[in-house]
Amino acid sequence: MKKTTVSKLLQKYLPYVIVIVGFAVCQSMVSAGTMPRTTKSLLIPVCVYIVMAVSLNLTVGISGELSLGHAGFMSIGAFTGIVIAAYVREVFGCSESLQLLISIAAGGVMAGLFGFLIGIPVLRLQGDYLAIVTLAFGEIIRNILNCIYISVDGSALRFSFNQPNLPGKLLFRGPTGATGVTRIATFTAGFILVLFTLFVVLNLVHSRSGRAIMAVRDNKIAAEACGLDVTKYRMMAFVTSAALAGMGGALFGQNYSTLTPANFSFNASILILVYVVLGGIGNITGSIIAATILYVLPEELRAFADYRMLVYAVVLIGVMLLTNNRTIKNFLNSLREKIRGNEEKKGGALHE
Amino acid sequence: MSDKIKRKSDTKMVPFPSHAIVPERDLGSRPVLECSHLGIDFGGLRAVDDFNLTIGKTEIAGLIGPNGAGKTTVFNLLTKVYQPTSGTIMVNGKDTAGMNTAQANKLGLARTFQNIRLFNQMTVEDNVRIGLHNQISYGMFSGILRLPPYWSGEKKQHEKAMDLLSIFHMENMANEKAGSLPYGAQRRLEIVRALATNPSLLLLDEPAAGMNPKETEELMDNIIKIRDQFQIAIMLIEHDMNLVMGICEGICVLNFGRVIAKGTAEEIQHNPEVIEAYLGRQKED
């Protein structure tokens, strides 16, 4: 009985365990100085992409809407975060960790707000139409950002549209994006953000609201007949997902000294979607693993220079074939059942 | 202005459609459902026309008719899946005009579907918990932050769900995926889920479809048991005449979108129009 409860608990908290163990290993390698510099520079982006993948999985896997504009929310979070951090630094001059905390919160709120505004028209649609419109909104956000200029003048933030000559210190200049950003993002902050994302998503899924979101995904008409406000729960998933993406973006933005809107193109959205699909739609643990491996892989393959993307493509195709191969799936399932069966045999006598 | 006011003598008087029948025991209380002149057009097709029906507070009513008569369309109209082109629907004395399906449910209409619609990827218990969604509730933030309302709400939902599942002796299936249940169990789960929404009128769309005679017998007992235990009205569409004639008190026969007969099982069985609708006209010689 003890063993089954332990394995059940482990299963329930598996995503947390993976993240904590990963953090402990990486952190000890960093402090021991055994981690190469190139790998070290990947730590924060990996955290960000885990956040992105898990939050997109809330929309795609749990709520069942194919969203192709996730990078748009990430960019809103990133640039809001950069501007707010710079503003707080200029005006209040508080500590770096507080700057980071405020900027991440601001990024999340801003992206959540935009998620709500975009959700109003988008969530009237379903399926392919919804996917196409979210794609369009992702591009619209990027193009609007290309025209915005923001400066801090004394204690006031100044905005303009297509007018680069603003008074004060320019924080964000349209297509050139944000330059000279103070890099205040830390690996620990990334780790905490990942834990926060997991906490929000997993607790939401295993609550009354999460069940309602999944019910709407499984059968919209039946959900309505059970008295659920379908739009409310689709919106809840969409906005939560956008807000978490904004938080990830805010951290991401402050990991680089230069960031342009072009970094958040349609390709970035697809990249995140690839993590979600290959990790398993609706599978949070899978998203964590897929985001880590698939982000680190092409970076580590830089040594192969010309063959880098070729190898990456082959790996992607390999994963797709493996996860969809019936023989392999059956084999894995039988293996899983065997393990479970053994456990029950051992625990059964005590259990009864 | 004054000449626009209709004079009394112009008013056209029409018969009010309340040659309605309800069980005698329900005479003292307000009917759970009153629809009058209900109709819907799909393009040029009048799918349901001039549908009038009154259902008593604890009545078991049957809606029968040949295939394509418009029975499921009536259910869809009542539950606001379709908005009626004409007519009114009153549930517990409240007009449902302009409401959507979810609001109609909150007013007391719960239903099952002809082609089963469960939340297939969720467990049996979670399906019932969705039915309890508006009965036992707590907010999103209590859920995420695991505040006290979450714990007490979850506990109450679990207890109530198990209680409801025990009507059909399904407690031992609580953790199975709804989609993997056998057909009969899926039908029963749909009824439990509908009951969980605390309805005053339960609409069952072919509850016995695909069941064997023994299961149908059990279902009949259970429908009566549910009516007695929850004191609600039940209206069912069914092709199994044993079931309809066995438990339905008032029966309404629909053909080509129109009501052709209303009455008790006895009256319906001997109604020549009903016999004609089902079997065709007798050769006259």
B117 touches chain A (CB under 8 A): yes
B256 touches chain A (CB under 8 A): no
ipTM: 0.87
Kindly report the nearest CA distance between residue B111 and chain A, in angstroms.
Answer: 7
pLDDT of residue A117: 95
Element housing B271 (H / E): none
Which of A4-18, B62-76, B133-147, B244-258 is least confident? A4-18
Nearest to A226 among B131, B138, B144 (CB): B131
What mean pLDDT is reported for chain B? 88
Which of A88-97, A175-184, A338-347 is least confident? A338-347
Q: What residue spans define the domains of chain A?
A: 14-32+43-265
- Reference A175, options A198, A145, A195, A197; nearest CA is A145
Mutate to test the interface with A, among B119, B177, B189 (most CBs of A within 10 A): B119
Contacts of A61 in chain B (CB under 8 A): none
Q: Strands B33-42 and A148-153: what pairing?
A: unpaired
Kindly report the nearest CA distance between residue A326 and chain B, in angstroms.
Answer: 19
For residues B235 and B55, the answer to whether their CB atoms sit within 8 Å is: yes
pLDDT of residue A342: 64
pLDDT of residue A352: 34
Nearest to B130 among A207, A212, A221 (CB): A212
Q: How far apart are CA B236 and CA B214, in angstroms?
A: 19
Angle between helices A43-57 and A284-300 (to 10 degrees): 140
The beta strand positions in chain A, using DSSP E, are: 148-153, 156-161, 169-173
Contacts of A200 in chain B (CB under 8 A): 144
Q: How far apart are CA A33 and CA A47, in angstroms?
A: 20
Kindly report the nearest CA distance between residue B120 and chain A, in angstroms.
Answer: 7
- For B114-136, the pLDDT digits (tens) are 999 999 999 999 999 999 999 99
How many Cβ contacts (< 8 angstroms) between chains A and B?
97
Residues in chain B: 285
- For B201-242, the pLDDT digits (tens) are 999 999 998 888 998 999 999 999 999 999 999 999 999 989
- For A242-300, the pLDDT digits (tens) are 999 999 999 999 999 888 998 898 889 988 998 998 888 888 998 999 999 888 888 87
Cα A352 to Cα A1, A147, A346, A347, A348: the distances in Å are 9, 68, 11, 9, 6
DSSP class of residue B123? B
- For A38-81, the pLDDT digits (tens) are 888 899 999 999 999 999 999 999 999 999 999 999 999 999 99
Q: How far apart are CA A226 and CA B102, in angstroms?
A: 7
Q: How far apart are CA A90 and CA A137, in angstroms?
A: 32
For residues B185 and B210, the answer to whether their CB atoms sit within 8 Å is: no
For residues B236 and B260, the answer to whether their CB atoms sit within 8 Å is: no
Contact A225 B105 (CB under 8 A): yes
Mutate to test the interface with B, among A12, A226, A228, A233 (most CBs of B within 10 A): A226
Mutate to test the interface with B, among A202, A208, A219, A231 (most CBs of B within 10 A): A208
Contact B133 A199 (CB under 8 A): no
- For B89-115, the pLDDT digits (tens) are 999 989 998 899 999 999 999 999 999
Residues whose CB is less than 8 angstroms from the CB of residue A187 and which lie 6 or more positions away in sequence, other chains included: A23, A26, A27, A30, A43, A44, A47
Helix, strand, coil share of chain A (percent; to 5): 75, 5, 20
Contact B117 A211 (CB under 8 A): no
pLDDT of residue B164: 93
Contact B119 A223 (CB under 8 A): yes
Contacts of A210 in chain B (CB under 8 A): 143
